[in-house]
Amino acid sequence: MYRSNVLVCGGTGCTSSNSLQIAQTLKDELKKQGLDKEVNVITTGCFGLCALGPIMVVYPEGSFYSMVKVEDIPEIVEEHLLKGRIVTRLLYQETVEEDTVKSLNKTAFYAKQKRVALRNCGVIDPEKIDDYIAQDGYAALGKVLTEMTREEVIQTMLDSGLRGRGGAGFPTGLKWKFAAANDADQKYVCCNADEGDPGAFMDRSVLEGDPHVVLEAMAIAGYAIGASKGYIYVRAEYPIAVKRLQIAIDQAHEYGLLGDDIFGTGFNFDIQLRLGAGAFVCGEETALMTSIEGKRGEPRPRPPFPAVKGLYQKPTTLNNVETYANIPQIILKGAEWFASMGTEKSKGTKVFALGGKIEHTGLVEVPMGTTLREIVEEIGGGIPNGKKFKAAQTGGPSGGCIPAEHLDVPIDYDNLIAIGSMMGSGGLIVMDETTCMVDIAKFFLEFTVDESCGKCTPCRIGTKRLLEMLEKITKGQGTLEMIDEMEQLCYYIKANSLCGLGQTAPNPVLSTLRYFRDEYVAHVVDKKCPAGVCKDLLEYTIVKDNCMGCSLCSRKCPVGAITVTDYIPAGKKRPAFEIDHSKCIKCGACMDSCKFNAIIKG
């Protein structure tokens, strides 16, 4: 029995800033002090506050150490774990109030969150099935197998109002009902863990922090639709998630929670991993299943829908990781409990990956209906460097931008569609006034052009033409007619593409056109980029009267475009410098180096 637990975050974010070394040093130091039998070190999944990583929490005190360094460990072990004196200097400063230490759950970042899908992330050791079982893990599977009929399970899902967390928001219960209704000798349950949106890492964090919840939920789905086999399609770019999933599958087998005759009920269910090779289109359901079959990952027309003919032409149900993460608790706590959270048509909570120009980059889970303002300003800690909020991008390359005027819209599936964006998988990228909206649209278009599988023409050629027009606009070669043409092409691509990738690819363009048309016009008519991002519309100039002639910029310039003039400004000792615009590559190095604010761009 340990008297103290030290949790060290082993998510991808903290791992990349050396948290595994921290855990090892901690174990070594504890041994040195003879505390290794009293204090247990546990590597957990993501705590959510990735911006403050590496993160370490000491229980029972609940002390939250942030941005921990390996060098800090001996002090923490000697002072805190041996002598009981919390090293407040190294704590997350928001938890320190004069002489007391505040609970983590009372900090702005955590107080407004409601953790359902993430409830075990940062609490349990994801590589220990016992930890998951201690948190009522596999009790839901036990309950459905021994107490509920298949119909009751599906009815519970329908009543809960759970909708697919992958982005489209299709009711999960309905999906299961369709798959259950089709008789076949073999059915399949698949899990979509091919999280490909730039800036999204919700599913990765669930898989890394609580892999068993996905296995348990898939087995429940298997029972409900009558399937005995499951596949998890996970990106090969998520090595930690893949490793922990495999460990989880092996442990579940060992305990007989996967395999044959689970709980002695005669129900058989098995799960295998399939690694994706990095194609974004494989997140689309039909392409994903084609890829699992070992073929080139391309979508196919629907109908037939997967519930009728899916994997290997058999009835299949496919759900997203976060959707699965909700299911065992819906079974245990009841549909009413789940339906009591959220808005009328969007129940429960949603996990968002906060990124971009925001103080607390990380993972947050809030009830549906929370406003964007609460997420950005309160939980996210606002925009750094006193900059102004301009827009938030949700839904990745399929979504759109939400401007400041809609900051107070309660976020749910339908409201986001109404304001021209979409829930998507939950990436939420915050942009400040230094972001050019045309450039953002171009960025996402570049992504979809790269990732279009090429099977259908509207997507393959349409997105390419759209990108070409955007490139012309950012180079100052656009016309007003071009903007109208672009808009038309957007609607054409949406209406005619084969799969979700093409059908949503124009969304970033359409939503920026809707809210920031004036920026497009500025690029076209004034040939200016208001945010100062599009290089071809920029010019760096030295204001000669402010120039001290220190020559720093000319030494920093990588192309030798800055030379000395013979003009000595009034009151200055040395001659001023100037930029040769024919040589300038607009890298901005001169402006960053100037100590006298003598260089301007515009």
Site for other proteins contains 103 (CB under 8 A): yes
Site for other proteins contains 255 (CB under 8 A): yes
Give min distance, CB of 34 to other proteins, in A. Answer: 8
Alpha carbons 290 and 268: distance in angstroms, whole number: 25
Give min distance, CB of 330 to other proteins, in A. Answer: 19
Cβ proximity of 233 and 190 under 8 Å = yes
Site for other proteins contains 105 (CB under 8 A): yes
Q: Contact with other proteins (CB under 8 A): which of 67, 96, 133, 409?
A: 133
One-letter amino acid at 277 equals: A
Helix or strand run (H / E) with residue 215:
helix 211-225
Pairing relationship of beta strands 427-432 and 400-403 according to DSSP bridges: unpaired
Alpha carbons 141 and 212: distance in angstroms, whole number: 11
Site for other proteins contains 260 (CB under 8 A): no
Residue 456 CB coordination number (10 Å) = 20
Query: Of 484, 479, 475, whose CA–CA distance to 529 is shortest?
Result: 475
Q: Contact with other proteins (CB under 8 A): which of 227, 257, 271, 524?
A: 257
Q: Contact with other proteins (CB under 8 A): which of 111, 139, 181, 559?
A: 139
Site for other proteins contains 595 (CB under 8 A): no
Site for other proteins contains 85 (CB under 8 A): yes
Site for other proteins in 367-426 (CB under 8 A): none
Show the binding pattern over residues 108-127: x = contacts other proteins (CB under 8 A), - = does not.
---------------xx---
Select the span of 60-68, 311-319, 531-539, 542-550 touching other proteins (CB under 8 A).
Answer: 60-68
The contacts of residue 125 (CB under 8 Å, 6+ apart) are 42, 43, 44, 131
Measured from the CB atom, the residue of 253 and 574 that comes closer to other proteins is 253
Q: How far is CA 483 from CA 334, 510, 532, in A?
A: 51, 10, 20
Tokens of 398: 């399929």
Strand arrangement, sheet containing 63-65: 39-44, 4-9, 56-59, 63-65
Give min distance, CB of 89 to other proteins, in A. Answer: 15
Alpha carbons 399 and 561: distance in angstroms, whole number: 41
Alpha carbons 228 and 311: distance in angstroms, whole number: 13
Give min distance, CB of 204 to other proteins, in A. Answer: 23
Show the binding pattern over residues 2-41: x = contacts other proteins (CB under 8 A), - = does not.
xxxx-x------------------------------x-x-
Q: Contact with other proteins (CB under 8 A): which of 71, 84, 183, 266?
A: 84
Select the span of 260-268, 318-326, 389-397, 421-429 touching other proteins (CB under 8 A).
Answer: 260-268
Measured from the CB atom, the residue of 124 and 513 that comes closer to other proteins is 124
Q: Contact with other proteins (CB under 8 A): which of 20, 67, 70, 82?
A: 82
Site for other proteins contains 344 (CB under 8 A): no
Q: What are phi and psi of 259, to 5 degrees?
A: 115, -150
Site for other proteins contains 261 (CB under 8 A): yes
Site for other proteins contains 492 (CB under 8 A): no
Site for other proteins contains 583 (CB under 8 A): no
Give min distance, CB of 41 to other proteins, in A. Answer: 13
Strand arrangement, sheet containing 427-432: 362-367, 349-356, 427-432, 389-394, 400-403
Helix or strand run (H / E) with residue 243:
helix 239-254
Question: 239-254 and 202-209 helices cross at what angle (nearest 10)?
Answer: 40
Give min distance, CB of 126 to other proteins, in A. Answer: 13
Select the span of 57-65, 160-168, 205-213, 331-339 touching other proteins (CB under 8 A).
Answer: 57-65
Measured from the CB atom, the residue of 92 and 516 that comes closer to other proteins is 92
Alpha carbons 44 and 58: distance in angstroms, whole number: 13
Alpha carbons 114 and 119: distance in angstroms, whole number: 9
Give min distance, CB of 221 to other proteins, in A. Answer: 19
Burial 45-62 (b: 16+ CB within 10 A, else e): bbbbbbbbbbbbbbeeee
Give min distance, CB of 261 to other proteins, in A. Answer: 8
Q: Contact with other proteins (CB under 8 A): which of 31, 32, 62, 272?
A: 62
Measured from the CB atom, the residue of 42 and 513 that comes closer to other proteins is 42
Give the three-class secondary structure for 181.
helix
Give min distance, CB of 541 to other proteins, in A. Answer: 58
Cβ proximity of 44 and 10 under 8 Å = yes
Cβ proximity of 23 and 43 under 8 Å = yes
Site for other proteins contains 75 (CB under 8 A): no
Burial 125-155 (b: 16+ CB within 10 A, else e): bbbbbebbeeeebbebbbbbbeebeeeebbb
Q: Contact with other proteins (CB under 8 A): which of 26, 227, 262, 376?
A: 262
Site for other proteins contains 136 (CB under 8 A): yes
Measured from the CB atom, the residue of 131 and 432 that comes closer to other proteins is 131
- Please state the three-class secondary structure of 8-63 as a single string: EECCHHHHHCCHHHHHHHHHHHHHHCCCCCCEEEEEECCCCCHHHCCCEEEECCCE
Give min distance, CB of 68 to other proteins, in A. Answer: 18
Alpha carbons 410 and 530: distance in angstroms, whole number: 30
Give min distance, CB of 37 to other proteins, in A. Answer: 8
Pairing relationship of beta strands 63-65 and 96-97 according to DSSP bridges: unpaired
Measured from the CB atom, the residue of 4 and 551 that comes closer to other proteins is 4
Measured from the CB atom, the residue of 263 and 337 that comes closer to other proteins is 263
Q: Contact with other proteins (CB under 8 A): which of 65, 92, 109, 138?
A: 138
Q: Is 597 left (phi over 0), alpha (psi -120 to 50) or beta?
A: left
Measured from the CB atom, the residue of 39 and 438 that comes closer to other proteins is 39
Q: Contact with other proteins (CB under 8 A): which of 264, 266, 301, 558?
A: 264
Give min distance, CB of 133 to other proteins, in A. Answer: 5
Q: Which residues bind other proteins (CB under 8 A)?
A: 1-5, 7, 38, 40, 59-62, 82-85, 103, 105, 123-124, 130-131, 133-136, 138-139, 142, 146, 255-257, 261-264
